[in-house]
Structure 1
Amino acid sequence: MISNLKIFLFLMVFVALSFLTAHRHIYIDRFVSLDTSTSEPIEPLVMLAGEKGTIKLTKVKKKDTDKMTTNEHPVRSTFAPMDKNNSTTGAYKEISLVNARDWYLGWFQLDKIFLNCEVKTCRLRKGWKYFNTSDAVVFNGVISSLGTPPKRPNPDQIWVVSAWETPYHSRSKVFSNQGWKDQINWTMTYRLDSDIPVPYGLVKKNENKSNKDYGTIMTNKKKMVAWVVSNCNTPGQRKKYVEQLKEIVPVDVFGRCGSPVPIDIFGIINKTYKFYLSFENSLCKDYITEKFFMRQNLDVVLITRGGGNYTKFYPQESFINSNKFKNAHELGKFLLKLDKDNIAYLNYLKSKENYRSLDFGVSIRKGLCNMCKMLHDKKIHRNVYKDYNKWWWNSDCNSKPTDIIL
């Protein structure tokens, strides 16, 4: 009996490992660490585009915080401040994630999320059982299937919508329901005009620069362009763009749209490739994902294609923006020229030495810290979106790219 049980358990583990190995490319673009025990500094950083694409990183000042949390929206109205007696940093504020995905929640250490925040007196909860007692309720704006809004237990409860996919990939049509008008107070999304902006990554000055052996780095780079991708048919038509780019330069594609993904794919890319395609699935305002942020830490030159302003985070000379070229053929010709100019190529690599990308987990934690602080702010104004759905779909998405050769 025991022997049969061991055999059964072995087979179950084998099947599970086989599945994960066969499908690992599905998760490769979305795997980020949300370990809240990280030693990264928690003080807010502001990333501003300076002259000629340079970046200034400064601590947030009080007046800047006010601007970030109470910025006006054309589809939003502002009501009177909340009761001052209910806005002190002494009492704990409860934030409930009522319908977040299980895998999303599994990465949070709920009891530690606020330990390094400026304002620590908040608790993060999950599930509907905390709905009636929470000071803020966070709804998942991508997968929500709520229908009409629930009854708000008290008028001071803040309703927040979180979303890190573009409108094209927001499968939920819930917020088009008329009942949701004048219900949402704050937004927490990748868009920088959100009440609580949470981009897919943050950037800090690299104070621990190592002396890189660029001679060896260049010697090992024998290949041109790599791309790891799992979603082939997208609104931004990136697959078609890459097919046209391949007419000029060699591009090795890995994932569901190409060859199987080696286990150490980004180690291989870091060592042997000169360029990596950081192409977004949708060309929407501010939509810049980990495809850019986390790959900027590699010794490769990124080629971007998206709707966001990348120079808000990194110097413009540290990556190649495909938007600067008429089409994929023009970009390909530039890459061939750059491939023969080691000095020009190295300038791209060296220009990002002074900066380091922090992962999505750090960005989310900073966002939750800001939410906690906002809940405790005595001067906070309660914002109400007249039509959240209209605000969300007004994301300046380009559904008809002009860089595709017809």
Structure 2
Amino acid sequence: MGCHNTKKTLISALKKCLLFFLCVLLLCLLNGWLPDFQAINPSTFGNWSSSRNVTILLWHWPFGRPFSLRGDVCWDLYRIPHCRLVDQRSLFPSADVVVFHNRELTQGQKLPLDLPRPQGQRWAWMSLESPLYNGNLHKYRNIFNMTITYRRDADITIPYGELLPKETEGHPVEEVPQNKSFLVCWVISNYRRQHKRSQVYKELNVTVPVKVYGRWTKTPVPSSALLPTISRCYFYLAFENSVSKDYITEKLWRNAYQGGAVPVVMGPPLGDYKAVAPPNSFIHVDEFESVKDLGKYLQQLAEDKKRYNEYFAWKNQWKVKLYTDWRERMCKICSQYNSLPQHRVYSDLKAYGY
């Protein structure tokens, strides 16, 4: 009997302790004395969900050249987290973004319009070609939700190259190449008389001699010898094959800038170059009233060592980064995924200038 009373007393005491604890906890919450508890709020759960992996499915590899996707590619190579890059079409139902490279579409690859498209899945149209070579885009009306191109106004911008700031320490001042043998050089394989660049070359060659390399003149330059060859020239003709908004290719970034020659550029308007390249690092054809005036300027500049060297001053602050790995371009989608418009549909890519 005594044992039973002791048990009842213990239970009663525990109930009182629990009630007291609950009262204290309620009082703390009402007075804001538990900041650690307040840190947990509904918006936090939104952040947790945004940290999930975004799956990017590349429907076909550009130009049929696959890269390895083993491991956590985006993190291992580019330190982009929560990004799963795949190329197995069987993963279509779970993909957040499906990327289609336009070159393969123009060559007969079909869009998977027969597959049930998961709700919220975005289809991305990707091209590094100028509009002249993108083919008939009208048939893709109201299909794509995202554009991935070199243009600065694309949803995902993938330039051929860009300039990144150098660290202030540990980088010696770069010397201007002194082994100059030719005034103007040009590497060209796909020569077409109707191209504007071909017409400008012909006019310029009348005023100043232009040393031409490439298949057109049956003097091909191996990749390993390209930059050393260009370094022997004062100026390099970084002429694009078409005049299109923001279409600035490796002709500027690699051939001229990395080759150590001052680029003479022709392509998009002067403002497009100024938006991505340092001032006084290039010469635009449009800055001159005539090609003859351009030729005279190049001659005078080459003779003035001080002024010529000023075109390389940017190299003390900037370094060239080239984009050549399609995996890096795909991973970039993840870093911008949460800021992309959720319900955009391109009614007509051609109308947007592609």
**Conservation of the 8 A alpha-carbon contact between 1:191 and 1:286:** yes
Distance 2:218 2:52 in 1: 55
Q: Answer yes or no: is 1:159 the counterpart of 2:123.
A: yes
Q: Which residue of 1 aligns with 2:321?
A: 358
1:349 maps to a residue whose letter is F
**Conservation of the 8 A alpha-carbon contact between 2:174 and 2:315:** no
Q: Residue 332 of structure 1: CA displacement? A: 0.8
Which string of whole-angstrom CA distances, capped at 9 and with x for unpartnered residues, describes residues 318-358 of structure 1? Answer: 11111111332221111111122111111112244321110
Q: Answer yes or no: is 1:349 the counterpart of 2:309.
A: no
- TM-score (norm: length of structure 2): 0.76
Q: Residue 102 of structure 1: CA displacement? A: 4.9
Of the candidates 28, 32, 53, which is equivalent to residue 92 of structure 1? 53
Distance 1:87 1:370 in 2: 21
Query: For structure 2, which runs of at least 5 residues remain unmatched after alignment?
Result: 1-44
Distance 2:93 2:342 in 1: 19
Where does 1:382-397 land on structure 2 (aligned, <5 Å)?
382-392=342-352, 394=353
Where does 1:189-200 land on structure 2 (aligned, <5 Å)?
189-200=149-160
- TM-score (norm: length of structure 1): 0.67
Q: Answer yes or no: is 1:368 the counterpart of 2:327.
A: no
Distance 1:160 1:86 in 2: 25
Q: Answer yes or no: is 1:307 the counterpart of 2:268.
A: yes
1:283 maps to a residue whose letter is V
Q: Residue 129 of structure 1: CA displacement? A: 2.9
Q: Residue 120 of structure 1: CA displacement? A: 1.3
Q: Residue 388 of structure 1: CA displacement? A: 3.4
Larger Rg belongs to: 2
**Conservation of the 8 A alpha-carbon contact between 1:235 and 1:281:** no
Of the candidates 287, 297, 300, which is equivalent to residue 334 of structure 1? 297
1:323 maps to a residue whose letter is D
Distance 1:184 1:131 in 2: 16
Q: Residue 135 of structure 1: CA displacement? A: 1.3
Of the candidates 226, 239, 259, which is equivalent to residue 198 of structure 2? 239
Q: Which residue of 2 aligns with 1:24?
A: none
Q: Which residue of 1 aligns with 2:171?
A: 209
Q: Answer yes or no: is 1:135 the counterpart of 2:96.
A: yes
More helix by share: 2
1:238 maps to a residue whose letter is R
Q: Residue 238 of structure 1: CA displacement? A: 1.0
Distance 1:304 1:276 in 2: 8
Of the candidates 308, 318, 322, which is equivalent to residue 281 of structure 2? 318
SS at 1:105 equivalent = coil
Note closer, same or farther for the CA distance 1:108–1:322 as it changes in structure 2 (3 Å cut). Answer: farther
Q: Which residue of 2 aligns with 1:297?
A: 258
Note closer, same or farther for the CA distance 1:103–1:353 as it changes in structure 2 (3 Å cut). Answer: farther
Q: Answer yes or no: is 1:273 the counterpart of 2:205.
A: no
**Conservation of the 8 A alpha-carbon contact between 2:150 and 2:246:** yes
Q: Answer yes or no: is 1:288 the counterpart of 2:248.
A: yes
Query: For structure 1, which runs of at least 5 residues remain unmatched after alignment?
Result: 1-83, 396-406
1:388 maps to a residue whose letter is D
1:301 maps to a residue whose letter is V
Distance 2:288 2:69 in 1: 41
